[in-house]
Amino acid sequence: GENVEQHPSTLSVQEGDSAVIKCTYSDSASNYFPWYKQELGKRPQLIIDIRSNVGEKKDQRIAVTLNKTAKHFSLHITETQPEDSAVYFCAASSTGSARQLTFGSGTQLTVLP
Amino acid sequence: DAEITQSPRHKITETGRQVTLACHQTWNHNNMFWYRQDLGHGLRLIHYSYGVQDTNKGEVSDGYSVSRSNTEDLPLTLESAASSQTSVYFCASSEEGYEQYFGPGTRLTVT
């Protein structure tokens, strides 16, 4: 089955700096890669996703890049703000079981004012 | 507005008891999922369903069961609760098989 590894597990940045979270996946058939943000005590919420037919997607201050050859994808947050502080999860979904997601272990992002 | 709800939000039970966690969605989504969330493990898939009468085992299905008698509900049953099942449980649903919407979660403590 799919295995997703996520790094780093914790990340602290100064407000206004950029943050990068990286994930690798094992199943070359995976074709969908969402990122979820989870604030303390809340449910995970989708912030951005990318499909395997594109290499990069951007939505305001967040962007995701995908390298299918290397089987890794990354979340980039620019101009970080205190409200970006949360746990971020990457996930991957394979073609064979396209509706299932395998999640990474999460990154606790802290934006220091 | 359409939504996904879980009940109860908090539950304390004793080892060996049967526990059922409810999940209800009003989006009419065919796909529903149960995850457990533990520190350091992210979200791990317990069971999932692609439609009425369809259920499938996920990565960590031992000790859990689900049934799907209608589109809206996917209850999760712990047959005989164990301390290792203390966790936060999230239900999710999706239509196209891609974006999954999560419920608010149930915090279960097994003493």
More confident residue, A42 or A94: A42
Residue from A101, A103, A108 whose CB has the most chain B CBs within 10 Å, to mutate: A101
Residue A98 pLDDT class (50, 70, 90 cuts): very low
A44 touches chain B (CB under 8 A): yes
Residue A46 pairs with which residues in a beta bridge? Answer: A36
Question: What is the pLDDT of chain A when averaged over all its residues?
Answer: 92
**3-class SS at A5?**
strand
* Yes or no, beta carbons of A44 and B97 under 8 Å apart: no
For residue A9, list chain B residues with Cβ-Cβ distance below 8 A.
Answer: 40
pLDDT in tens, A32-52: 899 999 999 999 999 999 988
The whole-angstrom separation of Cα A89 and Cα A75 is: 10
Residue from B31, B100, B107 whose CB has the most chain A CBs within 10 Å, to mutate: B100
**CB contacts < 8 A (A, B):** 53
Cβ neighbours of residue B79 closer than 8 Å, sequence gap 6 or more: B18, B63, B64, B65
Q: Is the pLDDT of residue A97 over 50?
A: no
Q: Which of A42, A46, A99 sits opposite B97 (nearest CB)?
A: A99
pLDDT attached to residue A1: 79
pLDDT attached to residue A53: 78
Tokens 């943050």 identify what position? Answer: A19
pLDDT in tens, B18-55: 999 999 999 899 999 999 999 877 899 999 999 999 99
Buried/exposed B54-91: b ≥16 CB within 10 Å, e otherwise? ebeebebbeebebebeebbbbbbebeebeeebbbbbbb
Cβ neighbours of residue B55 closer than 8 Å, sequence gap 6 or more: B47, B48, B49, B66, B67, B68
More confident residue, B59 or A74: A74
Q: Which of B44, B97, B101 sits opposite A98 (nearest CB)?
A: B97
pLDDT attached to residue A72: 95
> pLDDT above 70 covers what percent of chain B?
96
pLDDT in tens, A9-36: 999 999 999 999 999 999 988 888 999 9
